[in-house]
């Protein structure tokens, strides 16, 4: 976003926020393998819709100012993924959840789902066992272990296209696979620069350039859906890992965890390439050195179901305040 459009957006945000921001929103913060999640517990009006996708659309249409106020600076920051809990849409589910970030809404979020489960446990609403969460892209199940680990059984995932080549200005030709893991991913074959935490800024620049080049070339997921996550795979550093990744998320920030939907997409690609068997364990290391363990099963329709295990920790319980006199109460849009 240019500085002029940020300024224009800030003006409209602050106009909107005068009338429409509640005085308080109660949130629980956690991190899953380093990646933060902010679960909204109350203070945010419920979206309308018979499906989670309709509710997500309603959030975008009527409550987008709340997204910015809750996750953007000065109350949040670019890496936070927000999660709004709703009543479930399926009778067997415990809750509905809509994930959002500094820029947009997500179909699913693996680290976020793990954070939601640990938050529900913290609130005393669930015990170890299996629950189901309704998301805009389908229902996922989540098993909370006695050791605090959470295993997500994600939405059906698949490899959409292999060996897709794109010319990236300033980088050169990049080849990768396109896969769905609850969000759309382009997963590179090569490592244009070393996947180390010290290179995070440069990795962000390069992955953003890849995303821009995919958009410019009209390369999409199925049904023309935008590819809004770029994943670079590299050899692991941890001796107990199979692969290390860097994932650029849809809001332009990178995932501190190995990315649950990104790990799911990676598993679908490995399977399509005949490089992993059903039930075989895959240990995905993140840019921060944290780890998810993943594996694949199939459902009754023969679709691939990725399972992703990780751990989240609650870091804060807070009441966000929106002082009417605060010029930044509507949040500062990300640059």
Residues of the shown chain interacting with ligand PYC in the complex, contacts defined by CB under 6 A: 35, 81, 109-111, 249, 255, 257, 259-261
Find the shortest distance in angstroms from Cβ 334 to ligand PYC.
Answer: 15
Task: List the catalytic residue out of 109, 159, 243, 249.
Answer: 109
Q: CA-CA distances (angstroms) from residue 245 to 98, 233, 290?
A: 25, 5, 10
Q: Which is nearer to ligand PYC, 67 or 111 (CB)?
A: 111
Q: Which is nearer to ligand PYC, 110 or 136 (CB)?
A: 110
Find the shortest distance in angstroms from Cβ 24 to ligand PYC.
Answer: 27
Active site residue 72: no
Active site residue 109: yes
End-to-end, the C-alpha distance of the chain in Å comes to 6
The residues with which 314 forms a beta bridge, in sequence order, are 30
**CA–CA separation, 248 and 127 (whole Å):** 33
Residue with tokens 């759309």: 184
**CA–CA separation, 133 and 117 (whole Å):** 9
Find the shortest distance in angstroms from Cβ 233 to ligand PYC.
Answer: 16
Q: Which is nearer to ligand PYC, 81 or 234 (CB)?
A: 81
Residue with tokens 């050169």: 172
Phi and psi based region of residue 295 (left: phi greater than 0; alpha: psi -120 to 50; beta: remaining)? beta
| CB neighbour burial string for 262-296, b if at least 16 within 10 angstroms, e if fewer | bbbbbbbbbbbeeebeeeeebbbbbbbbbbbbbbb
Q: Which is nearer to ligand PYC, 88 or 112 (CB)?
A: 112
Can you list the alpha helix ranges (DSSP code H) found in the chain?
A: 3-20, 52-62, 64-71, 110-122, 200-216, 260-272
**CA–CA separation, 182 and 140 (whole Å):** 10
Tell me the torsion sign for CA atoms 98, 102, 106, 110. Answer: negative
Instruction: Extract the tokens encoding 285.
Output: 């290391």
Q: CA-CA distances (angstroms) from residue 307 to 51, 102, 241, 249, 285?
A: 24, 27, 16, 20, 15
Q: Which is nearer to ligand PYC, 307 or 329 (CB)?
A: 307
**CA–CA separation, 101 and 129 (whole Å):** 28
Task: List the catalytic residue out of 72, 159, 249, 259.
Answer: 259
Find the shortest distance in angstroms from Cβ 170 to ligand PYC.
Answer: 25
Catalytic residue numbers read: 109, 259
């Amino acid at each position: 976003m240019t500085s002029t459009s940020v300024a224009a957006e800030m003006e409209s945000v602050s106009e909107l926020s005068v009338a429409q921001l509640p005085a308080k929103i109660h949130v629980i913060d956690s991190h899953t393998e380093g990646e933060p999640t902010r679960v909204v517990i109350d203070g945010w009006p419920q979206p309308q819709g018979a499906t989670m996708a309709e509710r997500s659309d309603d959030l975008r249409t009527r409550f987008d100012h709340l997204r910015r106020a809750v996750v953007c600076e000065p109350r949040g920051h670019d890496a936070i993924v927000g999660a709004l809990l709703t009543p479930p849409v399926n009778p067997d589910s415990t809750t509905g959840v809509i994930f959002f970030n500094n820029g947009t809404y997500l179909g699913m979020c693996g680290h976020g789902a793990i954070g939601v489960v640990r938050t529900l446990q913290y609130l005393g609403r669930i015990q170890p066992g299996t629950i189901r969460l309704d998301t805009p892209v389908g229902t996922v199940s989540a098993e909370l272990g006695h050791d605090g680990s959470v295993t997500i059984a994600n939405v059906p995932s698949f490899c959409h296209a292999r060996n897709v080549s794109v010319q990236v200005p300033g980088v050169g030709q990049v080849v990768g696979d396109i896969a769905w893991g609850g969000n759309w991913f382009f997963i590179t074959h090569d490592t244009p620069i070393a996947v180390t935490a010290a290179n995070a800024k440069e990795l962000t620049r390069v992955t953003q350039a890849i995303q821009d080049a995919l958009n410019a070339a009209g390369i999409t997921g199925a049904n023309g859906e935008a590819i809004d996550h770029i994943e670079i795979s590299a050899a692991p550093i941890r001796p107990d890992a199979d692969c290390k990744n860097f994932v650029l998320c849809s809001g332009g920030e990178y995932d501190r965890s190995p990315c649950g939907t990104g790990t799911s997409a990676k598993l679908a690609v490995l399977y399509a390439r005949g490089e992993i068997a059903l039930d075989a364990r895959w240990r995905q290391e993140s840019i921060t050195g944290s780890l998810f363990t993943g594996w694949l099963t199939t459902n009754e329709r023969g679709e691939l179901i990725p399972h992703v295990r990780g751990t989240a920790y609650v870091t804060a319980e807070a009441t966000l305040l929106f002082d009417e006199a605060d010029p930044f109460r509507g949040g500062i849009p990300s640059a």
